[in-house]
Amino acid sequence: MSKEVIEQVVTYLTPNVPIVPISQGAEAFVFTTNVHPYNASACKTAGDIPVKYIIKYRPPKKYRHPSIDKTLTKHRTLSESRILAKLSQVPGLHVPKLIACDVYNGCIWIEFIGEDLPESHGFSNLKNFLWMYKTDPYNIAVEKVLFKVGEQIGLLHWNDYCHGDLTTSNLVLHQENGDWSPYLIDFGLGSASTLVEDKGVDLYVLERAIISTHSKFADKYNEWILMGFKSVYENEGKKGQQKLKDVIKRFEEVRLRGRKRSMLG
Amino acid sequence: MPYESIPQFDTRGVCVSLFRDVKNIEELRSKVGTMPFAVIDASCVCCREQLFSAVYKALIEWKYNRLRTKALHSECILSLSPTSNIGEAFRRFGIKEGTRNIICLAVVGKNETQTSELFDVVDGEEVELSDENLGSMFDLEMIKKVCWPLKVFQ
Ligand SMILES: Nc1ncnc2c1ncn2[C@@H]1O[C@H](COP(=O)(O)OP(=O)(O)OP(=O)(O)O)[C@@H](O)[C@H]1O
């Protein structure tokens, strides 16, 4: 990770907030810390494990004009924060809680979700979880998780939000009473949207992600996800049925466009 | 005096106290704005997290010269509000007719020493600023009305 960016963050946070870098994406640097930004009583340990928080930092980009850069950073930071805050209030939908936001420095604090999978299978995102089951790919645990993943996306779309980057790393599994519960993370490209196109694209992006990492089992996996997705709409009566039809129809069209594009090379 | 710190703002401290059954609400109301601290109606605050998230937000705005009100203390009250309407924020989260329990809050420099008498003007029983005490004083219906504009709650 860029030393310069780490120094910026350390200066900004002061030595009172020690950080550990965990990821560098195209737009943001992600760190963990054990320090809560403002509620000291929340830092107490749960069992022996200290509570962790995520800090997501969007550094200034030197190639952009400084004032444009500031405006863009502010806009994106605010947009991701607003979406997270709104989505936390949707009953049944699982997203990490937004804790704090500094739009002037492109910094947000988020609840940490997930844990390390057993036997060094890595962090508990959907990608690693599916790899963990590669010798037992149709285990009921896998089916349950994928159905719930579908439900989460169904809930998101039913409430007229789209994720914009539905990869298997952006679905994180959190253990609750021995059951894995999927959370949606990274709303950097998320939006409020009533468009079936955006929803169709979300579904297609995830379908591609499943196919590209788990091609042998992808048919069944995508079927389970879609079952979960549909179940949310089907619970919403006639209106739900109609909307579901529209989304699925568009999803199939998006998939067809994708195929044509790849045939043309 | 109970003293809290916000890790990122290590030159500042937050003095904060919770008072129950305050007898001189009218006197305090007439002095609002001239006292060196914010007075918040405790019925609008359900937990410490809600209170300190507003203080954090106000400190950020203060540090980057983006205060929308005259001072850091009034900004803390504005930051409690989900809207940016200043008058509305004061009417809801500040003290008003009928207020009984209050939170007094001052952001001070780490080296300021005069803080022990800061809230002496308040005539009420001081109790611990705990989630439990706040939870017993707050008005859920009010919070619902103000803070949950999402369609799922309508
Ligand atoms: N709330 C969270 N809980 C646990 N881990 C998280 C959380 N948020 C982010 N991470 C970890 O940090 C990584 C990057 O975060 P995120 O996807 O939000 O950043 P990004 O810069 O948009 O990433 P990319 O550009 O790679 O999509 C995630 O893949 C995940 O491993």
Kindly identify which residue of chain A lies nearest to residue B65, measuring between CA atoms. A104
Task: Indicate the DSSP class of residue B97.
Answer: T
Our answer to whether residue A165 is catalytic in this structure is yes
Output the CATH code of domain A118-264: 1.10.510.10
* Residue A52 CA, ligand 1 centroid: distance in Å: 14
Smallest Cβ–Cβ distance between B7 and the set A16, A89, A99 belongs to A16
Residue A183 backbone phi and psi in degrees, to 5: -115, 145
Q: Measured between alpha carbons, how far is B108 from B10 in angstroms, rounded to an integer?
A: 11
Residues B117-147 pLDDT 10s: 889 999 999 999 999 999 999 998 887 877 6
Residue extent(s) of CATH 1.10.510.10 domains in chain A: 118-264
Residue B152 has a pLDDT of 42
Residue-by-residue pLDDT tens, chain A, 265 positions: 688 899 999 999 999 999 999 999 888 999 999 999 999 877 655 566 779 999 999 999 888 999 999 999 999 999 999 999 999 999 999 999 999 999 999 999 999 999 999 999 999 999 999 999 999 999 999 999 999 999 999 999 999 999 999 999 999 999 988 899 999 999 999 999 999 999 999 999 999 999 998 888 999 999 999 999 999 999 999 999 999 999 999 999 999 998 877 766 5
User: Which secondary-structure segment (H or E) carries A172?
Assistant: strand A171-176
Residue A27 has a pLDDT of 87
Residue extent(s) of CATH 3.30.200.20 domains in chain A: 3-111
Return the structure tokens found at A73: 């950073």
Residue A264 has a pLDDT of 67
Q: Measured between alpha carbons, how far is B15 from B148 in angstroms, rounded to an integer?
A: 29
State the maximum Cα–Cα separation within chain B, in Å, rounded to a whole number: 49
Output the CATH code of domain A3-111: 3.30.200.20
Return the structure tokens found at A244: 């579901």
CB atoms A38 and B64 under 8 Å:
no
* SS3 category, B33: coil
Instruction: Render the burial of B107-126: b for 16+ CB within 10 Å, e for the rest.
Output: bbeeeeeebeebbeebebee
Residue A158 has a pLDDT of 98
Residue A139 backbone phi and psi in degrees, to 5: -55, 145
Return the structure tokens found at A208: 């591609």
Residues B29-68 pLDDT 10s: 999 889 999 999 999 999 999 999 999 999 999 999 899 9
Smallest Cβ–Cβ distance between B49 and the set A39, A86, A90 belongs to A39
Q: Measured between alpha carbons, how far is B55 from B80 in angstroms, rounded to an integer?
A: 8
Task: Indicate the DSSP class of residue A125.
Answer: B
Residue A47 has a pLDDT of 64
**What's at B96, amino acid-wise?**
K
Model confidence at B151: pLDDT above 50: no
| Ordered domains of chain B (ranges, CATH) | 3-150 (3.30.2380.10)
Give the residue, by CA position, lying nearest to ligand 1 atom 17.
A186
Residue A40 has a pLDDT of 81
